[in-house]
Amino acid sequence: MNLEPHGMNGTEEPIRTRGLADRLRRVGQRVTPQRLVILGALKPGEHLAADEVFARVEPLLPGVNRSTVYRTLELFRDLGLVSMTDLGGGARQFELIDDLHHHLICHRCGAILVLDDALVDPLRDGIRARYGFAPAIDHLAVFGFCSVCTRVTDRREGGPSGERQ
């Protein structure tokens, strides 16, 4: 499997491929070239739409069809290997899960900040305690306004309360 289009050089590729194969085996999946290439198209911290994953996979797997890539991404999501999140704009984005993290997304400027998973743990615990429901919160997107846009709005509207002075 050649992952060169994704910035991997020859010395890193066997290590990365072994790691991806190990991840598939740990979740009880057969290691196939298609699964390795699709999983290898994703990197931690990089969000890709399914079409972008397909565009990376197609040159490496001539003849693969779009629906195979989409179904495999959804399988990987269900297995906890990738997260699927709408980061705004209605497009589902996929990311290889390395460590759990979440995002704060500004409605005004589109800035995306990383939210530490430790802040989400109390939410998981509260849902479990109140509803007896075990939430699978692996990639949360919280929309609002960043500190810069909040300051601009506060100045424009006359203060944090929104009242003009």
Write down all domains in the chain, each with its CATH number in brackets: 1-97 (1.10.10.10), 99-165 (3.30.1490.190)
The verdict on pTM exceeding 0.85 is no
Q: How far apart are the first and last CA of the chain?
A: 64
CB-side neighbour CA atoms (13 Å) of 161? 3
Each residue's pLDDT expressed in tens, for the chain with a length of 165 residues: 444 444 444 444 555 667 788 888 888 888 888 999 999 898 877 889 999 999 999 999 988 999 999 999 999 988 888 888 776 667 788 988 877 778 898 988 988 888 888 998 999 999 999 999 998 887 788 889 999 998 877 777 765 544 443
Pair 32, 64: CB distance under 8 Å = no
